[in-house]
Chain A
């Protein structure tokens, strides 16, 4: 049994278990923290940096999704500094790939697009990189559009941790990074893929979609993840 700790988020007293993350605690208490790589039911990797928070006495900003609650902590989620960095993260994601929301299958159902609006990003101050990126439509039912991939690795984790197939992986470093299937083969040739579609459902953007969708038609359903996680917990 883990200990109960008491701490403050935005000067509000909250309590939780010491094995809980700040993000979990914030959400339990109705406090908004933006996230992209985090998804309930998957492991956390602290990759996107959208969930950054301030902790009193800690000079660095910390990702709420991987920092655990500690007794007496004083956490802040809404400073001007944080807003500045969140905005910057969103802008960097938009210039890194090619996002043309008006003609995207995920238009209106995309987490990146939603957060841009929510965080007040009404234009991008940086120059667009406009990289040349591929679309892999070799799978019978799904499409991977690298132009819209933000490298959150939700697909990698859901495939490895929940489906147990581990079809997805990351290749390359820095700006060259991209997701691959099996040994960097076309998705349609990836033998380990069970075509379950979990990756498509958890992908926050229009990078992974079902075939045959027109602009704005791709809606995603992630409820299965929490259900599966709960069932596994009950099995233990």
Chain B
């Protein structure tokens, strides 16, 4: 049996969706027999691989790096899933959209109590002017709202996909769930 090539990605989110994924607990063992985890914050691999069957995206698109990543991921993924409210709506990261990126950077880096206050201009990716939900920059195939979606919801989505079905999330989760 060929295993389903699964990837999980962490963009601008709090990692809560990944935690909820791990909360599947012992069912992870059942999943483990059917999948190959090819890329994830839990896996030590730098480049996003080719030909991934399913990718779960946690987090909104907030920086130039996120944008570059998500475009490459889309090209290399068959079924792209927006997992959680940050990916689906922008959620908490997008709270800055009505004031712009500048005040956020100033608040974080130009605090006068810091020893050498300066806004970084290298190494740390530059913020986009607006935080965007994933589907506003690339095509998304399945939406799983929730903050975070429950472990059961995530398990349901993966189980359905592994069985070759499209998960029907009607009534199972919602914004803010």
Residues of A whose CB lies within 8 Å of any CB of B are 94, 98-104, 107-108, 113-114, 116-118, 120, 122-125, 127-128, 130-133
Contact = CB atoms under 8 A, between A and B. Distances in A.
B85 A101 contact: yes
A49 B173 CA distance: 25
Interface residues of B, number: 28
* Secondary structure call for the A interface: loop
Interface of B: 82, 85, 88-92, 94-95, 97-99, 130, 133, 135-136, 140, 143-145, 147, 169-171, 173-176
A100 B91 contact: yes
A128 B90 contact: yes
A123 B176 contact: no
Contacts of B130: 130
A123 B88 contact: yes
Contacts of A118: 171
A125 B122 CA distance: 34
6 contacts: A102-B85, A117-B173, A122-B169, A123-B82, A125-B135, A130-B130
Contacts of B89: 94, 100, 123-124, 128
B143 A101 contact: no
Nearest to A106: B176
B98 A132 contact: yes
Contacts of A94: 89
A101 B176 contact: yes
A132 B88 contact: no
A113 B175 contact: yes
B147 A101 contact: yes
**Chain A CB within 10 Å, residue with most, of B90, B174, B175:** B175
Nearest to B144: A122
Contacts of B99: 132
B143 A123 contact: yes
Given A114-B174, A124-B89, 18 more contacts: A101-B85, A101-B147, A101-B174, A101-B175, A101-B176, A102-B85, A102-B147, A104-B176, A107-B176, A113-B175, A117-B171, A117-B173, A117-B175, A120-B170, A123-B133, A123-B145, A130-B94, A130-B98
B27 to A, nearest CB: 23
A118 B140 CA distance: 21
B91 to A, nearest CB: 6
A128 B94 contact: yes
Contacts of B144: 122
A123 B140 contact: yes
A98 B95 CA distance: 8
Nearest to A107: B176
